[in-house]
Amino acid sequence: MIPEVGDPAVRVGRDDIAAAVRAAGIAAGETLLFHSALSSLGTVEGGPEAVIDGLLQAVGPSGTVAVPTLCNWQPGEQHLVFPRWDPAETPSYVGRITEVFRQRPDALRSDHATHSVAAIGAGAAALTAHHGEAGPRLGPFGPRAFAATSPWQRLVDQNAVYAFIGVDFKVATMVHLVESLIVERALARAPEARREHAALEVIGWMTPGVWPQIRIDDREVFQHELATKGLVQSGKIGSATLLWTRAGTMVEHWLALLEAEPARWFPAEYLAWERLLNGEHPA
């Protein structure tokens, strides 16, 4: 993913950021998770802290601001990810703003080695607590990453603001919750006698298997589909484009689009798995 190219001649500070967020229709009291590219904003007076403070100012003391604080690993080191995980020390690799954010004394970070979320504000504790301790879901990042008690599901349940600053839907981490729900819903629709065996064929952490992986370019297609329905709002912060939608609305429409045309979106191996799950012959 290539972020927007920022214009260094455009200068922006905390108050400008807060005003731009409000001008884009995001109100006080909202819960807001954002993906970002600091360089896209232009020259930010105060750096990442100004961006964070501007967003907090926009949602006010009753609101909450959150960021993904995902971790990365080198080839051959996947088996070390969970043993090495430390919520207080493991860096976020998804942008400078997220790394500064998680280290702030007012930030809380959820306890998951690959797909944690950090949050500041009135709802931070409720959003980040007990990440994945109940409601496990199958998936390549383990059963807790996008569980029913993950911050990702809570954002959907709240229909929170899901925003992009200088980036687009190609970086939407929420896609992995959608993939997990596709599998969960497929298993729920299938005859009960087939579910247990079929679940064993789904990918897991360090375990190969089938998965309805959504291609990067198809995320952009979905962005366009959502925008044509008037469900993506936009604005400017400095020289960066601000896009935002609602997490619950996004997931609901994404699921509907995928399930309406599975052959258009999913890998052949996954489609064959679904057919067998439903008692059909492979194509």
Q: Which mean pLDDT values do the consecutive 10-residue runs of the chain (283 residues) have?
A: 92 98 98 98 98 99 99 92 96 97 99 98 99 98 98 99 98 98 97 94 97 96 96 98 99 97 97 91 62
Name the phi and psi angles at 82, rounded to 5: -70, -45
DSSP-assigned letter for residue 80: G
The pLDDT assigned to 282 comes to 60
The pLDDT assigned to 279 comes to 81
The pLDDT assigned to 280 comes to 77
- Choose among 144, 208, 129: nearest CA to 176: 144
Question: Cα(17)–Cα(64) distance, rounded to whole angstroms?
Answer: 16
Per-domain residue ranges for the chain?
Answer: 11-178+214-250
- Residue appearing with tokens 């995902």: 70
DSSP-assigned letter for residue 63: -
DSSP-assigned letter for residue 38: G
Residue type, position 182, single letter = I
- Choose among 265, 63, 36: nearest CA to 171: 36
Q: Which two tokens stand for residue 231?
A: 């469900």
Q: How many CB atoms lie within 10 A of CB 222?
A: 20
The pLDDT assigned to 281 comes to 67
pTM (2 decimals)?
0.96
Question: Cα(101)–Cα(98) distance, rounded to whole angstroms?
Answer: 5
Q: How many CB atoms lie within 10 A of CB 127?
A: 25
- Choose among 250, 242, 114: nearest CA to 172: 250
